[in-house]
Structure 1
Amino acid sequence: MVADFLTFLTTIDPIGTLTIFVGLTAAASPEQRARIAWRAIGYSAAILVSFILVGQLLLVSIGVPLASFQLAGGIIFFLFGLQMVFGSGAVSADGTREEGRDVAVFPLAVPSIASPGSILAAVVLTDNREYTIAEQTLTTLLLLGVLAITLTALLQASRIYAVLGEAGSSLLVRVMGIVLAAVAVEMILEALREILPTLSGA
């Protein structure tokens, strides 16, 4: 079960999610950040638990491999990283971006927290053919524990802003945008190496 916990911790990546959250909520008040954090975790929990319940059937029926999810997520992250670098789409008072998206849904819940990796982990680690109901229940509780850790990290974002100030936060947003874009490129390349083995020298 320690391995399961570490798997969820790695695929959900609370620190990486905090990086995105900091960039998304630079213009939001502490109260708005808290609401966004709670909603993002709530949506993510609903998505991941749903995949635990019906994910095996869904993935088999649509026939989409993890690499395809990862490629799509990488492209989305890259585009969002560019938005952070160039300062487009600030968070408004209701927790949405200027273009009307709810950032708690996109890109926080999906594809950051409920990422292709965490979705696949939720499905694989609760495989009905390999695990009992008790084991699946414990795995679900471990997942919820990692989400609680992620929520705790997100709720500390206001302390980061208090230290950095407005100018520092603006700079951090752009730096994190560059980092996010770089991570996205690696996600895309990793997915392509699996989809097209020739890229990895196979």
Structure 2
Amino acid sequence: MSELIQSSLLMLALLNPFLVIIYLVDLVEKLDQRQFAKVLIHGSLIASAVFCSFAILGDVIFSNIVQAQFASFQIFGGVIFLLIGLQFVFYGPKAITALRGDSPGLAAAIAMPVLIGPGTISASMVIGKRHEALYASATIVVATVISVGIMLALKAIHDFVRPRHEPIIKKYIEIAGRITALYVGTIAVEMIMKGIRTWAEKF
């Protein structure tokens, strides 16, 4: 049981709802609670399906279907996150709109690249190796549900506070977005370097 809890916490930490909500700030401001919940839940279902697939078939997917090394995925994912981080530095949190795109594909765009990334894919594969397929999938789904619940709660808090303190909320989001950019950029460079080191070890 303790290993299942640890696996759920690992996945929850990498999903990081407090960070993801900054990515989705334009949707938080634009959509009402019901619309936001619908899009977020749809995106999380897509992400959960992908996570469970990699938990069960991770090695097979990379070696037989994609026919590529996981290091390649790490490097490409790092480049994506580096691009997001740079956009945040220069344009603030709303820069994610340019990368994610607009309707009608919001749910899929939330799933990738906001929820699905090298970190969460790697965690899914680790969880798949720790537990049987059913338990691994359940662990991933639980973590995703908790993450979605936290983000919906943050959305509700935002909607409650915003009418009274809108200038403060906007300033906080702007500052949080710039700080987030530093974190995202650092993680992106680390992903790229890990991918390069993994490739270098093969020669």
Normalised to the residue count of structure 1, the TM-score between the two structures is 0.72
1:50 aligns with 2:58: no
Q: Distance in 2 between matches of 1:138 and 1:151?
A: 20
Q: Which amino acid aligns with 1:196?
A: A
Give the deviation of 1:79 after TM superposition: 0.2
> Percent identity between the aligned chains?
22
Q: Deviations over 1:24-43 (max 9, x none)?
A: 32443442443332122111
Name the residue aligned to 1:148. 145
Q: 1:97 aligns with which of 93, 101, 111?
A: 101
| Structure 2 equivalent of residue 175 of structure 1 | 179
Count of aligned residue pairs for this structure pair: 188
- Residue 200 (structure 1) aligns with: none
> Going by fraction, where is helix more abundant, 1 or 2?
2
Note closer, same or farther for the CA distance 1:3–1:64 as it changes in structure 2 (3 Å cut). Answer: farther
Determine if contact 2:86/2:181 at 8 Å carries over to the other structure.
yes
Is 1:12–1:112's contact at 8 Å kept on the other side of the alignment? no
Tell me which residue corresponds to 1:21. 21
CA RMSD of aligned residues (A): 3.4
Q: TM-score, normalised by structure 2?
A: 0.72
Paired residues for 1:1-202 under 5 Å: 2-11=2-11, 13=13, 16-26=16-26, 27-31=29-33, 32-52=35-55, 54-61=57-64, 62-87=66-91, 89=95, 91=97, 97=101, 102-106=105-109, 108-123=110-125, 125-126=127-128, 135-158=132-155, 159=157, 162=161, 164-197=168-201
Rounded Cα–Cα distance in structure 1 between residues aligned with 2:188 and 2:169: 28
Q: Structure 1: which 5+ runs fail to align?
A: 198-202
Unaligned runs of 5+ in 2: none
How has the CA–CA distance of structure 1 residues 120 and 173 changed in structure 2, closer, same or farther, with 3 Å as cutoff? Answer: closer
